[in-house]
Chain A
Amino acid sequence: MTQLPPPSAKKLGLVIDLDTCVGCHACVISCKGWNTENYGAPLSDQNAYSGAASGTFLNRVHSYEVQPDEGTAQLIHFPKSCLHCEDAPCVTVCPTGASYKRSEDGIVLVNESDCIGCGLCAWACPYGARELDAAEGVMKKCTLCVDRIYNENLPEEDREPACVRTCPAGARHFGDLGDPGSAVSQLVEERGGFDLMPELGTKPVNKYLPPRPKDVEPDINVLAPYLEPVAQDGAGLIHWLDKALSALPGGSK
């Protein structure tokens, strides 16, 4: 078994806005592109051009339909990747130490050279956030783009995860959730950000922002004045128009 480091002050993670995520999968593919070309083995694809195609993805978007007791059904797009838990069961279960949590910033990584592909960590992760690469036989997971966020070969503005940089709707935010003053912590505070399945005690660093209430019946008493008829037919409207325009400054002939 592998030990977790003492909790770090700096807790890097993502804040994902479920109110804004349109389910476009931009983050999924940007992640695939960056992480195929960068950290560790490429993210392989099996049956890439034939039946039952499957491949390794570090981030996937699931869509769930929610049907309230009253009112219209809703569709929620739910992007999911490693949540970089503080009490990461995927780390403690690893028999070789390949799975680890960085003591500096809390990012959970797999050291591929030590990974034997046993799959225990994927079994231990309650979120299904790890995928065993079928070609390489090693466990792959979100690295929070550890090879981007500190990368001095990238312009400073690009030192963020690929999924955050690419998200067209601005639904993904990256930062230090250990710092209550950070923009991401503020966002979580303002919008009631929540943990995914907190009852499991994994203490995920990533947070989700809930969708705002939808299909709220507006207060018709507030709206009523906007519907007060000024006329009942065309002739009446022209008569009203005459009065309305005359009432404007310089309106009378």
Chain B
Amino acid sequence: MSLDEPKLDLSPKVSDEVRKTTCYMCACRCGINVHMKDGEVAYIEGNRDHPVNQGVLCAKGSAGIMQHNAPSRLRAPLKRVGPRGSGQFEEITWEEALTTATKWLKPLREKHPEKLAFFTGRDQSQSFTSFWAQGFGTPNYAAHGGFCSVNMAAAGIYTMGGAFWEFGQPDWDHTKMLMIFGVAEDHDSNPIKMGIGKIKARGAKVIGVNPIRTGYNAVADDWIGITPGTDGLFILSLIHCLMKAGNMDLDYLARFTNAPVLIDEDPASPQRGEFLRDNEGQPLVIDSRTGKLAPWNGQGVEPDLRGTYRNKGVTHRPVFHLMADRYMSEDYAPEAVAERCGIPAIKIFQTAADLARVAFDQAITLDRPWTDFRGKEHPNMIGRPVSFHAMRGISAHSNGFQTCRALHVLQIILGAVETPGGMRFKPPYPKPATAHPKPHGNVQPGKPLDGPHLGYPQGPDDLLLNDDGKAKRIDKAYTWDNPMSAHGLMHMVISNAHAGDPYKIDTLFMYMANMSWNSSMNTSGVIEMLTDQDEDGNYVIPNIIYSDAYSSEMVAYADLIFPDTTYLERHDCISLLDRPICEADAVADAIRWPVVEPDRDVRGFQSVLCDLGARLGLPGFVNDDGGQKYADYADYIQTHVRRPGVGPLAGWRIGDNGKLQGGRGAPNEAQLQSYIENGGFWMEHVPTEGSYYKPFNQAYQNWAVQMGFYDVEQPYIFQLYVEPMRKFQAAAEGIGHRQPPDHLRSQISKTMDPLPIWYAPFEETSVDLDDFPYHALTQRPMAMYHSWGTQNAWLRQIHGRNPLYLPTAIWTDKGFKDGDWAKVTSTHGMIVVPVAHQASLNPHTVWTWNAIGKRKGAWALGTDASEASEGFLLNHLIHELLPPKGDGLRWANSDPITGQAAWFDLRVNIEKTEPPAEAQPNLTPIQSPVPEGPKDLAWKVGK
């Protein structure tokens, strides 16, 4: 009625103060501005200056305020008082908690350090936690990479010195085509969204290869709804097409890869299949200037892809010739693979042609002169503007390592790695496998381990085996079962410890790993193992210590709980020694700092380890007088020296002249303050002449040494042919002193091929496909990826339910209707779950959102929460072992090269069923150590 508008205050005060720290709502590690009012967190937004997110922030990041204030936060250390798994606890003091832990752990260290298994889940402090475990002396340490994406990471390191995400990214500013494989809301979160937005804005094409068309695949210009587990075959077919048409970057292959490196082809030689080497051990090529042998890295050498070497009646050919022999085979022709991959042959041809068109006809030339490691000066930088990104979808299969390798070989033959418009590494990567440590596992009671736990084996000599052939590690990493298990096998720890295979342990110590729920295959089985008792009534796994900030399902299965802080209450460093936040053009690291102090009796887990380490007298954690070396994690971050001049943080170190500098330098006790003043991060740019061709580029290599990434320049060439794999394969053929057990010979010989191959996922070769005709997958939703969303009052309203999505073929064939439920069976188990229809889906594939389902009594949720009544996990259908083969052996449901958990090999059958009252299995509620959350929320800090 009235046109009188109310007078609005258009410039209200936004906050009292902005505190800049690093998000921890997932693994992406964006910079955030935390707006404070009256000393409380009022609003969180992205930090515009931050290299990772440049101001934007995803749903999780903005919902951090609900995470920080979640009612599921633990409040004090806990001691179990009821049976394990009951959730009955008593709050205790930190002194009692730490004394108890010391009492359990000290005798182990003195006599059997390996009886401690210390595994961390979504840990972002692995360079610290591994240092602690090394000091303790146990070989049994790893984080969660083994069940996440080790295939992607390890294949990248072995092939080209880094994979995607933390290692490398598409050249978003120059790429003209992006092809993504198996990417849901995987690593990394905001940068991929920003990148896709950026390239779409300029009309570049996005091709999504994924059985499921959601998220990034929904906005892709072209969707290839591949059948799960066949990506490797599809990629090798693309390679076939490109080679057959001569569409390769031959100059790049000759100069920057081992395509011209000669292979020992003498069938009588014990080194057959390895590189021909000179007296210094350098692999040899034919130098096209002389037609003679020359070391790959000789000054001025021009490696010749054609060059063969004949000696003593044997012709030794270069890697490229072996590739031609293999991939030109009609076995990889589109017509031969189309049905298996679920992709029409014409689509494979089109994709190959499109890649060639963009890579070669739309090549980019940047006017940036540079000099390579052989001293050759290049007038400019030539780019092949096709880029790729891939993650868990191709990684979490038993053929995942070889599939990831195949993808890298595709990138490399196009000349699209470290060139403009292709994929770019992020400092301190690239870093070849040979520049990483080898694995260490030698135990000496009372002493630290002989070196870092995890690394990159170069052959059978680097396996962690005892003289009797048994595994040194509880997870059997670095054994013949999975020789290149660079991230360990967290998913096998509990199963092996329970089976006493290879040995029994005393204490399981875990951090941020929800092993009794969504972080384990075979959830119900793992729960039984955690609670199983021997004939004397003792738990088979005697002691379990767990640290978590929240009342997760795993809490109930521990005997002693160290309550962690929320991410806004803690110190952390996102370190170059660990998994840094760098960009292709810049080196960067970052911190978290307590923007608020905890209002509960909780402590940052890393600070607890500083205390516990000192109580245990661990080297590195005590001073010469035996006193505690690091007061807390903040003290460690600022004062720890890993190598001369190198510590956890690279920013604002003290130079020789006493001035502050980035890179190398002495510790600075005001370093954290400098980070806080700079918005929580430090960044320094790569010199322009070093911006591309990093592994081969003298300017980059010099800068990398100056920054402290490594101590000497170490140029290298990409390994299309991975020689360490050949060494394992050769062992399986009977060569060498260290031999695999006979039952593994054929598996190793087949799967350890030094050039990428494809083989069918193991589960489908061990079950009857008529009984289990469908593939079943999970994805994390964007608003919850790598997060703990179910406890989050805002996020759980977006994804509070997870029906099993069925493709049209199954939906109509089986007569499903909206609101129906299905019985889903695998060779291992059965679940009964709600279903929904999705047309944009591979016709043989069903899927659901992962980790929506919750156990009743966990996460401070009401027992009627949808997550606890209709929510479900596919994990119940997946076993950590393959079905028994009748040989009495335990065959892991993992990649035979890295041990990566083969989640996505799962095969199922589906039948319509009467709706039960709740999703099945419906495990008994656990008693919550915290009260249920409030019924209603009306959140406002400033009134």
Contacts and interface: CB of A to CB of B under 8 A. Distances in A.
A226 B840 contact: no
B840 A234 contact: no
B706 to A, nearest CB: 34
Contacts of B35: 37
A231 interface: yes
B356 A5 contact: no
Contacts of A22: 193, 196, 215-216, 218-219, 782
B254 to A, nearest CB: 8
B353 interface: yes
B768 interface: no
B539 interface: no
Contacts of B350: 217-218, 220, 223
Given A33-B44, A33-B63, A238 B353 contact: no
Contacts of B625: none
Interface in B44-100: 44-46, 48, 53, 55-63, 65, 71
B940 A237 contact: no
B197 A20 contact: yes
Interface string A40-58: 0110111111111111010
B324 interface: yes
Interface in B1-55: 1-3, 5-6, 8-14, 35, 37, 42-46, 48, 53, 55
Q: Which of B1, B63, B197, B219 has the most CB of A within 10 A?
A: B219
A91 to B, nearest CB: 11
Contact of B201 (A2, A73, A170, A233): A170
A220 B348 CA distance: 12
Given A1-B1, A20-B197, A72 B933 contact: no
Interface stretch (B676-684, B792-800, B811-819): B792-800
Contacts of B356: 226-227
B318 to A, nearest CB: 10
A218 B205 CA distance: 12
Interface string A186-212: 000000000000000000000000011
Contacts of A48: 793, 933-937
Interface stretch (A116-124, A144-152, A177-185): A144-152
A125 interface: no
Contacts of B190: 168
Contacts of A49: 71, 791, 793, 860-862, 865, 932-935
Given A46-B936, A75-B213, A75-B218, A157 B48 contact: yes
A19 interface: yes
B10 A75 contact: no
Contacts of B221: 212, 214-216
Interface residues of B, number: 113
Nearest to A252: B288
B699 to A, nearest CB: 25
B940 A37 contact: yes
Interface in A1-25: 1-3, 5, 19-25
Interface in A218-234: 218, 220, 222-224, 226-234
Contact of B9 (A19, A53, A147): A147
B547 to A, nearest CB: 23
B257 to A, nearest CB: 14
Nearest to A219: B350
A224 B346 CA distance: 11
Interface stretch (B238-246, B486-494, B525-533): B238-246
Contact of A36 (B1, B839, B939): B939
A97 interface: yes
A213 to B, nearest CB: 8
B674 interface: no
A119 to B, nearest CB: 19
Given A72-B223, A244-B250, A45 B3 contact: no
A151 B14 contact: yes
A41 B357 CA distance: 56
A170 B198 contact: yes
A171 B941 CA distance: 30
A235 B325 CA distance: 7
A117 B1 CA distance: 17
Contacts of A90: none
Contacts of B189: 168
A157 B49 CA distance: 12
B783 A24 contact: yes
Contacts of A32: 62-63, 794
Contact of B793 (A53, A217, A235): A53
A51 B862 contact: yes
7 contacts: A22-B196, A45-B797, A73-B838, A147-B12, A166-B62, A227-B349, A229-B245
Among all A-B residue pairs, the 5 with the closest Cβ atoms = A50-B862, A49-B933, A51-B864, A168-B193, A73-B839
Given A22-B219, A165-B56, A168-B56, 8 more contacts: A22-B782, A32-B63, A34-B43, A36-B940, A48-B937, A52-B866, A111-B6, A227-B349
